[in-house]
C-alpha cells in the first residue's frame, strides 16, 4: 500500500510538470528563433521605429513639393470651396481622351481601345466606395443600412449635381464627413472610379 | 409645448417628495415618463411627422449634422425653437436656408454669414427638392426630446441590454472558477475519505485478528523486469525513440509563430469591421493590391469612418463586455493618437506602436500584390477566418513547407492575364498537362524567394 502511494505520487509530480510545461506556452509573445540576426535586417523595415526622424518612425511622408519619378502630374486645385467649384466646372477625365500621339509606343495600348474600363473601376468602387454609397450609388451601402454612417447622398441628388471634376476632387480631398481616398487609389485608379461613378449616376437618372 | 413638459416634470418631482415609501417614487417617475412621452408625441404630431422626419434627416442631414453634437455643421436638437428664441428667426428663414444657404450668404443675411464663418466656411448643400411638409417633418424630429432610452437604457427600451447579462461574461468567469475550485476541494475530500475508510477497515481487520493482506513471497515485478535484459533493451530503445520524436518536434517549431496573438495598443476587432460590417480587407489594407507589403493602415483610414462614428451601438458595447473590451474607450485611443478633438484635428498626433504578427524572416521574399492581384487568392487562404477574429492571430505556420505545398497544389490563374498566355501554352505542352501549377511555373525555384 505504501509503494502504491509513492508511485501515484510520482505520477502526480510528472503530470504537474507536463501541465506546467504546456501552460508555459503563451500566445501573446512570439516564439524563439534560431538566429534572430538572420530574421531581422540591418536596414529599416516598413513602419519600424527609428531615431533618425523627429517623430520616431521610419515611415515618412515625401518632402513637400517633391513628386515621384515617371508619369505623374500633381493635382493643383486647392481643397477649398472655390477649388471644389473650379474642379466641378473645369476638370475632365483624361482617360476619356485617346492617348496623345507622342506618348504612344509599343507598350502602350491601342488608341482605339477606350482607356475607361468598368472592369477596373467597378471592383475598386466596390471595395472603397460601395460600403457606404451602395452598389448602385444610391447611398444605401451596408454601413448606411446598419445605421453606422448616416446621410450618404444618392449620386443623382439634384442639390449636389456632381460632375466628373467634382467626383475626382472629392475622392482626392474628401468632403465634410467623407475622408480622402488619395492614398488608397492612385491617379489612374481614381479616374477609373470616377468613370464608374458617372455610369452609376447615369443609371440612377434613367 | 415646452412649458407643458416642464410643469409635468415639476409635478412629478413634487409628488416624489410627498411620498414616504421609497419604491413608489420610481413608479411615479416611470408614470411621469410615460405621460411625458405620450404628451410630447401627441403635441408634435400636430406639427409634422417625426418618424418620416427621422428617415429624411438620416438620408439628407445626418452626413453633416448630429442631434446633440456639432459635427461638420451645428447640432440640430430643437433648432427651430433655439433660433426663434435666440435669433428671432422663423420657419420662413429656415426654409430659405435649407433650400439655398449659399444665396442667403451672398445676399448678406447677418445670421447666415455668422453661422457660415463659425463652421469654417463650409457650404451647406442646397436641398431645393425638400417640400414644406418635408422640412416640418424634419424639424418635428429635431424637436423631439432626448429619448430616455438612449441616455439611460432601462427595462422596456428597445435598446435595453440587461446589465446583468452584459456583465454576465465577467460573472460567468468568476463563477466558473468558483465551480472548478469547489470541485477540486470535493475531489480532495473524497480522496481523503477513501484513505480514511481504508485505514479504519484495516484497523477493524487487525482488531478481529484477520490477516488483511496476504503477501505472496516471490520476486517483485521490478526485479523480474531488471533481470530480463531483452525487455530492458526494448524499453530503452522505445524511450530513446520517443524522446527523439519530442525533441525533433520541439526544434521544428522554433521560429514558427502560428497562433501568435499579441495584445495590440489599440484593440481592433476584425470580427466587427470585416465580419459584421462586411468591409473589404483591401479597404484598409489597400497596399496589398499594389505592393510587397499589405501595410498596416495609417490612421487616416480609420478616420474615414470614425470621424462620424465616435461611439458604438449599445448592442455592440454589450458584445464587447463579453470579450472584456470597452470599444468606446478604444475609439478614444484612436482619437488621442490621431489628434482629433471631436470636430477638428489638433495637429498633435502620436504614432501607434502596433505589434506585427505575420513576419517572414528577411531571407525570404514574399510579395502581396503577386498573390492578391495577379493570382487572385483570397486573403483568408493564408490569414484564416479573419472576419471571425475578435483578436487577430496568425492562422498559418508561414513555414517554407507550407508555401511549397500551396505552390504544388494551386493552379496558375491564366484567365485575363496576357503576360502568362505564351509561357503557359509552351510549358503545359512540355509537361503534358492542361493546367500548370505554380510549382511547374517555377514556383519551387530557390532563387524565386531566396536571393
**Which residues on A lie below 8 Å from B197 (Cβ)?**
none
Q: How is domain B2-151 classified at the architecture level of CATH?
A: Orthogonal Bundle (1.10)
Which residues lie below 8 Å from residue B424, measured CB to CB, with a gap of 6+?
Answer: B412, B414, B436, B441
B213 touches A at CB < 8 Å: yes
Distance from the A203 Cα atom to the nearest Cα atom in chain B, whole angstroms: 20
Alpha carbon distance A44, B68 (integer Å) = 46
In percent, how much of chain A has pLDDT > 90? 29
* Lowest-confidence region among B63-67, B237-241, B426-430: B63-67
Helix axes A81-90, A164-173, angle to 10 degrees: 140
CA closest to B259 among chain A residues:
A27
Interface of B with A in 353-372 (CB under 8 A): 353-354, 356, 359, 361-363
Confidence bin at B16 (pLDDT 50/70/90): very low
CATH topology of domain A81-99+109-205: Cytochrome Bc1 Complex; Chain D, domain 2 (1.10.760)
Q: Determine the pLDDT at residue B218.
A: 76
Instruction: Identify the weakest region by mean pLDDT among A134-148, B79-93, B323-337, B380-394.
Output: B79-93
* Residues of B with Cβ-Cβ distance to A178 under 8 angstroms: 304
C-alpha B285/C-alpha B271 separation (Å) is 16
CA distance, residue B315 to nearest chain A CA (Å): 12
Q: How far apart are CA B50 and CA B66, in angstroms?
A: 16
Check CB contact of B255 with chain A, cutoff 8 Å: yes
Say yes or no to pLDDT of B234 above 80: yes
Question: Does pLDDT of B240 surpass 70?
Answer: yes
In 3D space, the residue among B40, B120, B11, B32 whose CA is nearest the CA of residue B74 turns out to be B120
Q: What's the complex ipTM?
A: 0.83
CB nearest to A31's CB, from B58, B257, B356: B257
B256 and chain A in contact, CB less than 8 A: yes
Confidence bin at B4 (pLDDT 50/70/90):
very low
pLDDT in tens, B153-177: 555 555 555 444 433 344 445 678 8
**A-interface mutation test, from B362, B394, B450, most A Cβ less than 10 A away:** B362
Whether A180 contacts A172, CB under 8 Å? yes
Residue pair A199/A122 in contact by the 8 Å Cβ criterion? no
When pLDDT is averaged across residues B7-31 and rounded to a whole number, the result is 48
Q: How would you write B333-399 as a 3-class SS string?
A: HHHHHHCECCCCECCCCCCCCCCCCCCCCCCCCCCHHHHHHHCCCCHHHHHCCHHHCCCCCCCCCCC
Under DSSP, is residue B170 helix (H, G, I), strand (E, B) or coil?
Answer: helix
Closest Cα in chain B, distance from residue A182 (Å): 11
**At residue B11, does pLDDT exceed 50?**
no
Distance from CA of B274 to the nearest CA of A (A): 11
pLDDT at position B12 over 80: no
Q: What is the pLDDT of residue B163?
A: 47
Using a CB-CB distance cutoff of 8 angstroms, which residues of chain A are in contact with residue B127? 159
Check B278 against A142: CB less than 8 A apart: yes
Q: Which residue among A33, A143, A150 places its CB closest to the CB of B255?
A: A33
Quick check: A27 and B362 CB within 8 A? no
> pTM of the full predicted structure?
0.70
pLDDT of residue A29: 84
CB nearest to A46's CB, from B293, B300, B303: B293
Residues across chain A:
206
Task: Summarize pLDDT for B244-297 with one digit per residue, the tens.
Answer: 999 999 999 888 989 899 999 999 999 999 999 999 999 999 999 999 988 889
pLDDT tens across B401-428, in order? 999 999 999 998 888 788 888 888 899 8
What is the model's pLDDT at position B166? 39
- Separation of alpha carbons A170 and A181, rounded Å: 9
Q: What is the pLDDT of residues B318-374, one digit of tens each?
A: 989 888 999 999 999 999 999 998 888 888 888 888 998 998 888 899 999 999 999
pLDDT at A82 over 60: yes
Check CB contact under 8 Å for B127 and A159. Answer: yes
Chain B residues in contact with A174 (beta carbon < 8 A): 304
- Looking at residues B380-409, what average pLDDT do you find? 93
Average pLDDT over residues B287-310: 90
Q: What is the mean pLDDT of chain B?
A: 81
User: What is the percent of chain B where pLDDT is above 70?
Assistant: 82
Residues whose CB is less than 8 angstroms from the CB of residue B291 and which lie 6 or more positions away in sequence, other chains included: B368, B369
The arithmetic mean of pLDDT across residues B50-63, rounded, is: 80
The cell for B273 is: 469591421
Contact A127 B283 (CB under 8 A): yes
Judged by CB atoms closer than 8 Å, whether chains meet at A184 and B286 is answered as yes
Interatomic CA distance for residues A10 and A14, integer angstroms: 6
Asked if the Cβ–Cβ distance from B60 to A126 is below 8 Å, we say no
The residue-averaged pLDDT of A188-202 equals 93
Lowest-pLDDT choice from A11-20, B108-117, B258-267: A11-20
The domain locations on chain B are 2-151, 219-252, 270-398, 414-451
Q: What is the pLDDT of residue B40?
A: 47
Alpha carbon of A92: minimum distance to chain B alpha carbons (Å)? 23
| pLDDT, position B231 | 92
> Mind telling me how many Å the CA of A103 is from chain B's nearest CA?
22
- B59/A contact by beta carbon, under 8 A: yes
Judged by CB atoms closer than 8 Å, whether chains meet at A33 and B295 is answered as no
The length of chain B is 451
Minimal C-alpha gap between B275 and chain A (Å): 12
**For residue B84, what pLDDT is reported?**
79
User: Which of A115-119, B35-39, B235-239 is predicted most confidently?
Assistant: B235-239
Q: Which residues have CB under 8 Å from A183's CB, separation 6+?
A: B286, B298, B300, B301
Amino acid at each position: 500500500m505504501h509503494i502504491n502511494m509513492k508511485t501515484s505520487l510520482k505520477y502526480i509530480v510528472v503530470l504537474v510538470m507536463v501541465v506546467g510545461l504546456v501552460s508555459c506556452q503563451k500566445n501573446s509573445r512570439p516564439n524563439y528563433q534560431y538566429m534572430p540576426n538572420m530574421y531581422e535586417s540591418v536596414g529599416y523595415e516598413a513602419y519600424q521605429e527609428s531615431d533618425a526622424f523627429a517623430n520616431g518612425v521610419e515611415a515618412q511622408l515625401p518632402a513637400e513639393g517633391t513628386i515621384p519619378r515617371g508619369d505623374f502630374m500633381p493635382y493643383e486645385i486647392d481643397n477649398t470651396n472655390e477649388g471644389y467649384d473650379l474642379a466641378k466646372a473645369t476638370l475632365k477625365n483624361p482617360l476619356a481622351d485617346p492617348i496623345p500621339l507622342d506618348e504612344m509606343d509599343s507598350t502602350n495600348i491601342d488608341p482605339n481601345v477606350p482607356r475607361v474600363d468598368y472592369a477596373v473601376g467597378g471592383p475598386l468602387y466596390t471595395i472603397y466606395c460601395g460600403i457606404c454609397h451602395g452598389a448602385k450609388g444610391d447611398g444605401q451601402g451596408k454601413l448606411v443600412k446598419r445605421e453606422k454612417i448616416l446621410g450618404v447622398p444618392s449620386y443623382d441628388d439634384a442639390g449636389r449635381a456632381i460632375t466628373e471634376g467634382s467626383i475626382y476632387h472629392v475622392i482626392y480631398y474628401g468632403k465634410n464627413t467623407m475622408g480622402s481616398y488619395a492614398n488608397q487609389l492612385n491617379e489612374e485608379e481614381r479616374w477609373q472610379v470616377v468613370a464608374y461613378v458617372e455610369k452609376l449616376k447615369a443609371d440612377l437618372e434613367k | 409645448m415646452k412649458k407643458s413638459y416642464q410643469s409635468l416634470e415639476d409635478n412629478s418631482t413634487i409628488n416624489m417628495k410627498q411620498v414616504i415609501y421609497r419604491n413608489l417614487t420610481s413608479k411615479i417617475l416611470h408614470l411621469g415618463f410615460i405621460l411625458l412621452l405620450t404628451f410630447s408625441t401627441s403635441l408634435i404630431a400636430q406639427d409634422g411627422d417625426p418618424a418620416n422626419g427621422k428617415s429624411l434627416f438620416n438620408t439628407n442631414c445626418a452626413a453633416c449634422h448630429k442631434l446633440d453634437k456639432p459635427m461638420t455643421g451645428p447640432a440640430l436638437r430643437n433648432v427651430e425653437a433655439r433660433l426663434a428664441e435666440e435669433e428671432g428667426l422663423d420657419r420662413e428663414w429656415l426654409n430659405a436656408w435649407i433650400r439655398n444657404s449659399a444665396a442667403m450668404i451672398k445676399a448678406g443675411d447677418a445670421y447666415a454669414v455668422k453661422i457660415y464663418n463659425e463652421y469654417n466656411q463650409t457650404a451647406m448643400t442646397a436641398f431645393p427638392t425638400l417640400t414644406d411638409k418635408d422640412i416640418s417633418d424634419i424639424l418635428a424630429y429635431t424637436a423631439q426630446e432626448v429619448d430616455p432610452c438612449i441616455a439611460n437604457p432601462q427595462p422596456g427600451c428597445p435598446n435595453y441590454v440587461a446589465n446583468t447579462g452584459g456583465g454576465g461574461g465577467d460573472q460567468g468567469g468568476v463563477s466558473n472558477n468558483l465551480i472548478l475550485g469547489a470541485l477540486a476541494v470535493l475531489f480532495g475530500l473524497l480522496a481523503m475519505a477513501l484513505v480514511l475508510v481504508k485505514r479504519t477497515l484495516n484497523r477493524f481487520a487487525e482488531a478481529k485478528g484477520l490477516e488483511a493482506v496476504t503477501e505472496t513471497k516471490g520476486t517483485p515485478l521490478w526485479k523480474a523486469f531488471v533481470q530480463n535484459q531483452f525487455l530492458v533493451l526494448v524499453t530503452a530503445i522505445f524511450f530513446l525513440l520517443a524522446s527523439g520524436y519530442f525533441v525533433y518536434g520541439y526544434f521544428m517549431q522554433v521560429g514558427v509563430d502560428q497562433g501568435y496573438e499579441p495584445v495590440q495598443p489599440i484593440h481592433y476587432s476584425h470580427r466587427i469591421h470585416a465580419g459584421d460590417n462586411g468591409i473589404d480587407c483591401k479597404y484598409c489594407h489597400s497596399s496589398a493590391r499594389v505592393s510587397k507589403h499589405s501595410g498596416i493602415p495609417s490612421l487616416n483610414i480609420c478616420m474615414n469612418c470614425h470621424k462620424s462614428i465616435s461611439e458604438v451601438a449599445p448592442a455592440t458595447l454589450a458584445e464587447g463586455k463579453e470579450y472584456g473590451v470597452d470599444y468606446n474607450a478604444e475609439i478614444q485611443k484612436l482619437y488621442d493618437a490621431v489628434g482629433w478633438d471631436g470636430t477638428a484635428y489638433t495637429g498633435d498626433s502620436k504614432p501607434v506602436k502596433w505589434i506585427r504578427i505575420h513576419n517572414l524572416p528577411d531571407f525570404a521574399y514574399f510579395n502581396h500584390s503577386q498573390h492578391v492581384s495577379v493570382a487572385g487568392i483570397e486573403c483568408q487562404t493564408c490569414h484564416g477566418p479573419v472576419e471571425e477574429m475578435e483578436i487577430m492571430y496568425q492562422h498559418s505556420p508561414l513555414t517554407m513547407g507550407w508555401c511549397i505545398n500551396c505552390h504544388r497544389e494551386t493552379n496558375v490563374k491564366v484567365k485575363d492575364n496576357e503576360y502568362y498566355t505564351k509561357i503557359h501554352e509552351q510549358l503545359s505542352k512540355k509537361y503534358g498537362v492542361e493546367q500548370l501549377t505554380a510549382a511547374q511555373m517555377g514556383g519551387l525555384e530557390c532563387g524565386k524567394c531566396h536571393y
